Amino acid sequence: MEFTVREIAAFLKGEVVGNQDITINNVSKIEEGKPGTLTFLANPKYNAFIYETKADVVLVNRSFKPEKPVAATLIKVQNAYEALASLMDLYVQSLPKKKGIEIPSYISANSKHDEEVYIGAFAYIDEGVVLGKNVQIYPHVWIGRGSVIGDNTVIFAGAKIYPETKIGKNCIIHAGAVIGSDGFGFAPQENGEYKKLQQIGNVIVEDNVEIGANTTIDCATMGATIVRHGVKIDNLVQVAHNVEIKENTVIAAQTGIAGSSTVGSGCVLGGQVGVAGHIKIGNNVTFGAKTGVKNNVKDNSVMMGEWAMDARNFRRVYAVYKNLPELYHDFYTLKRNIDSRS
């Protein structure tokens, strides 16, 4: 589809600096801009590219002031990154949506679905499953007995939804995700073997949640593993049994959260963060990549390091750590001088 600069600016409530009649049919990165595309500038480290980009239109923050002439037409908005997200939403919503039921697929007679549903080939919808309005189920998805999928939720190819899972409205479940698999629970026996603890709980995913490809969320041993409203989870994340992740928390790839831990609302977990079991993390906490979380964390903390510590202290510690070879050399030289005088 094509949009004029005038139409885009009206949608974003932005101010145009340049030609309002240019037509845009795609987007591009500012450093790889092409004619006929729109790009954006939100990070000052990319400022230099705005003077040489081949993109016809650039979204910029209202505060942006060019240091020299810019060939592209500018659309000034309050927040360029948020404006781009809104614009891409508009584009996706304009695309035709799949509808209907493809053959072969299995749909239990005891399940319920709206007429506008899409169910792809080789999908399996078990008994008692309820699919809301405009739900899209892509090929090779398996949805287990008694699960409920809310309105406008999309489940991409190959995802597996175990029995009794509850997924809210406007969610996106990416390819290969597994929701509701057994938690890792085993009781040690006197003979050294381990007896499986049956996992009889479920998973509850609230509205507006996105779950990345090949992420796994285990069902609860008893009760529910809960992912609250607005949570965004990247690819290859492991969420263990009885975990609760509260509203609007974001979790980057390869993070692992062990059983019965609670992550507060508005938190940010960088890549490869590891959270030990039965940990309570407060609200608005940020963890740098590869942080190891072994103790409870208070609200509004910023933590880094293999043994999670306040980010400011971590930077001080690291400043010393990276200079250890020189410090050791100085210490050894000083010790040798002292010993030679004694």
DSSP assignment of 204-248 equals: EE-TT-EE-TT-EEEPPSSSEEEE-TT-EE-SS-EE-TT-EE-TT
Q: Which helix (H) or strand (E) holds 143?
A: strand 142-143
pTM: 0.84
CB 254 within 8 A of CB 272: yes
Query: In the chain, what percentage of residues exceed pLDDT 70?
Result: 99
Query: For the domain bounded by 100-314, which CATH number is listed?
Result: 2.160.10.10
Task: Kindly tell me if the per-residue pLDDT of 315 is higher than 90.
Answer: no
Task: Kindly tell me if the per-residue pLDDT of 14 is higher than 80.
Answer: yes
- The CATH 3.40.1390.10 portion of the chain extends over 3-94
Query: In the chain, what percentage of residues exceed pLDDT 90?
Result: 82
SS3 call for 162: coil
Instruction: Give per-residue pLDDT as tens, 259-272.
Output: 999 999 999 999 99
Q: Summarize the confidence of residues 282-309 as an average pLDDT.
A: 92
SS3 call for 191: coil
Residue in the structure block whose two tokens are 């939720």: 153
Task: Kindly tell me if the per-residue pLDDT of 194 is higher than 80.
Answer: yes
Q: pLDDT band for 1, please (50, 70, 90 cuts).
A: low
Active site residues: 241
**Residue 342: predicted pLDDT:** 67
- The CATH 2.160.10.10 portion of the chain extends over 100-314
The CATH number of 3-94 is which of 3.40.1390.10, 3.40.309.10, 1.10.490.20, 3.90.1150.10? 3.40.1390.10
